[in-house]
Structure 1
């Protein structure tokens, strides 16, 4: 999760989970919601120590934005699993979606185990809602990092009675606010940026070999000149004994 969220800068949105056989997304009768808080542990306000039901991948915080479900009137759904990982909430009941059959068009239900039409309910639909908001935010603010996108979504949500809440996180997501509100300066992570290592300054060229070569050539030239002069003087003396 860290590799995807940090190294690859991906916004990871996941469903908080459903408890019990509810709607079209059944969590299972053994999946129960978690206790909300424990006043005996003030150092653990979101009650991580009291978790009894895990929601995967929501458990891996802070790399996942976990989404709870809301009823059409904005109240927490009875089936949404509470937990310290819940980051935000979105509509997750009586959803209207696109059918997957040929020419199905819009649909608002799926057959249940008794082949009765059941409403589209579940935190999975709420997660899809928030994933769409995240995509819009990234489209409008392409320089924001994944962390900044999540922060913009949670910072502009409508807070519940407790913020953050183990039931609805930062509150009900507000797509318009997430796209338009000006967050206070210093209250938002900076734009996505990966540090670039500045290459070290090149070492000055080593001129020692050239200096040695030039000095050696000059010395050799002097020696040749001296040797030539001595040879010429000796030859002249042989020709002129009086010199």
Structure 2
């Protein structure tokens, strides 16, 4: 079979991936990038925001992310758990302060295999003893050289400030009150028209009066 007539390979999205146009896997996408599992209460859009926030502020700088207002309602524990799933490993200390793309690390971790690689919720877990401070720092140095984004990149990342869900709910409630008021005005106008049409006109009154005299 010639190269021209050979059908293009089909890339199948993981079953756990939500349906939708924005979740179509392209032929040049790495399938492992879609293996990031969502923590409860997270959407794909929120994960992308967290991904950019980690690049901008650095892993572990949770208060800066909270103060930026890009992920309203998310707690430090929730962000830390989702970061673990994006990195593909439970230990995040070795990335603290680094401006990285968590998906790049997660892609590499998803390919690791062997008898010493143990996973929980798709995250590699440390089966040995607790790392010493020097070991953590050594790994952080290696990660900085390999994954750290240039300052020009992360400093220019723009994160849109998102309103708190409670603020959005209150705004919707006020909009509903306004619509209810408009509806009541329309109903009052309809009743007024119906009442007017139900009353006899001046001409009808004159005819009725004449008939009574006859």
Same fold (TM over 0.5): no
Give 1 or 2: higher helix fraction. 2
TM-score under structure 2 normalisation? 0.28
Give 1 or 2: higher strand fraction. 1
TM-score under structure 1 normalisation? 0.25
Higher-Rg structure is 1
